[in-house]
Amino acid sequence: MSPAEFNQYLAAHYAIHFDNLDLLKEALTQRNYLNEHPRETGRDYQRLEFLGDAIMQATVTEYLFTRYPNWHEGQLTEMRITMVQTKSFAHFAAMIHLNKAIRLGKGEEMNGARQRPSLLEDIWEAFIGALYLDQGQSVVVSLLQQTVFAAIDEHFFDQFIDFKSRLQEHLQVKGNVAIDYTLLKEERHADNSQTFEVSVAVDGQVLAYGRGSSTKEAEKQAAQRALAKLDAE
């Protein structure tokens, strides 16, 4: 997909259209592509990546501050850190088909760089930087509302949160407590999959239960439920 074709795709699916196509090209261009096309003017994505990182930080911060007026500073900070982890950006880059529009060198193409998470993360930030320069903050927010912000309600970011550490920090603010995870049940199913059930207790008092396909997953769910219970009290 060429930058011009990608611009048409953005217009059709996200109501976004770049006026300056050169900015979009820059955001989509890897250094090796320019090395193999010496007659082509322009730069690779790296400067725009720097700008996009700052735009993501500021935009996500403002969104969380407005969207969750009852969250305390620690909750806001944790969610912001979770949302702007670059490892989640690869998901959103693929969602809007950025991977299909990246301009790669032949060697990188053959090595599968188009699907490489680290490159998709960088290109996402560069794209956000280019979009900000071309269309302004409001259009960036519009795109993020359709992608990153919508993912909060779908619990997409839960996979990146260390609920066990968060529960420990929450409970130990006023001193040390004993936190115990106990395996209660292990079930093996006809398809050879397994389900584990655990409890999490604090100083001997059970706070919550969790289930998962591994003890790690079950403990994470138990910690998440315990945190939700504590936050509601």
Which positions are annotated as active-site residues? 53, 125
CB 20 within 8 A of CB 4: no
19: three-class secondary structure by DSSP: coil
State both tokens at 41: 């003017």
State both tokens at 175: 């001193």
CA 50, CA 102: separation in Å to the nearest integer? 18
Task: Pinpoint the alpha helices (H) of 69-214.
Answer: 73-83, 86-95, 106-110, 117-135, 137-146, 148-153, 163-171
State both tokens at 24: 């979009």
CA 79, CA 157: separation in Å to the nearest integer? 8
CB 194 within 8 A of CB 208: no
